[in-house]
Amino acid sequence: MIEKIENGLYRIQIPLPRNPLKSLNSYVIVGKRSLVIDTGFNMEECYSQLRKGLEELGLELKKVDVLATHLHADHLGLAGKIAKNLLISKVDAEIAIRSVIEPDYWKELVEFYIRNGFPEKEAKKVAKIHPAVKYASEFSGEIVFLNDREILEYGNFSLKVISTPGHTPGHVCLYDADKKILFSGDHILFDITPNITFWETMRDSLGEYLLSLEKVYELEVRKTLPGHRNFYN
């Protein structure tokens, strides 16, 4: 399902099968080079829906870049299948890469959970079925690290990158000041609540999240486009 939001801006709703989130909002900015903001899991149901939407918009994959607002598999998973260029924060990229190539990454995470009271059997089970394991991106192209406050030009949009750590250490939002549109990823959701969890690179993820909320609170926003469920004017 493709929905036109503004001239040159569309939403493709990507199903997330067997997941309580139900779907992901993938936003597409059409231009000489087009931008896909968040992609869905690396699984056939997600890929077919995203590919169909891009084809309906008449886009060639060789002229498409992907931007992941953060490292979670429902946002990053399909990057390697639809684009050669991935835009993501450095800290989130490093965590995503570690989770794929370092054998001890999940072992150490399970040990941490067990030390902090998580039942051993359940901790090991979670590690096997975690979306970051089952639906990890197979990206092998160029990774472009996003910097706080840099400006990205795609189509008729001028997007300011805003670092908003909390949901993940390197989560970013995108803000077009002229259009007063905020792409909020999972930093701001309306029908559900962002989950704030432990990260080894953050001493106080909840504190960081609250500071990031204050950061975007100052923006003049006409429309907020979140990663899941409905968006609001």
80-92: per-residue pLDDT in tens?
A: 899 989 999 999 9
- Among 3-12, 40-49, 141-150, 193-202, where is mean pLDDT lowest? 193-202
pLDDT for residue 27 is more than 90: yes
Alpha-carbon distance 95 to 74, whole Å?
A: 15
With a CB cutoff of 8 Å and minimum separation 6, the contacts of 207 are none
Q: What is the CA angle 34-19-46, rounded to 5?
A: 30
Give yes or no for a contact between 54 and 40, defined as CB atoms under 8 angstroms apart. no
Q: What confidence tens digit (pLDDT) does each residue in 139-150 have?
A: 778 899 999 999
Alpha-carbon distance 227 to 154, whole Å?
A: 19
Q: What is the CA angle 151-157-159, rounded to 5?
A: 30
CATH number belonging to domain 2-98+139-226:
3.60.15.10
How far, CA to CA in Å, does 31 sit from each of 35, 79, 136, 178?
Answer: 8, 19, 28, 17
Alpha helices, DSSP H only, in the chain? Answer: 44-56, 73-76, 79-82, 90-101, 104-115, 120-129, 131-134, 205-217
pLDDT for residue 113 is more than 90: no
Question: CA-CA-CA-CA torsion for 13, 14, 19, 22, nearest 10 degrees?
Answer: 10
In whole numbers, what is the pLDDT of the chain averaged over residues? 92
pLDDT for residue 76 is more than 90: yes
pLDDT for residue 128 is more than 90: no
Domain boundaries, the chain: 2-98+139-226, 102-131
End-to-end CA distance of the chain: 21
How far, CA to CA in Å, does 168 sit from each of 149, 197, 200?
Answer: 18, 8, 11
Alpha-carbon distance 181 to 6, whole Å?
A: 10
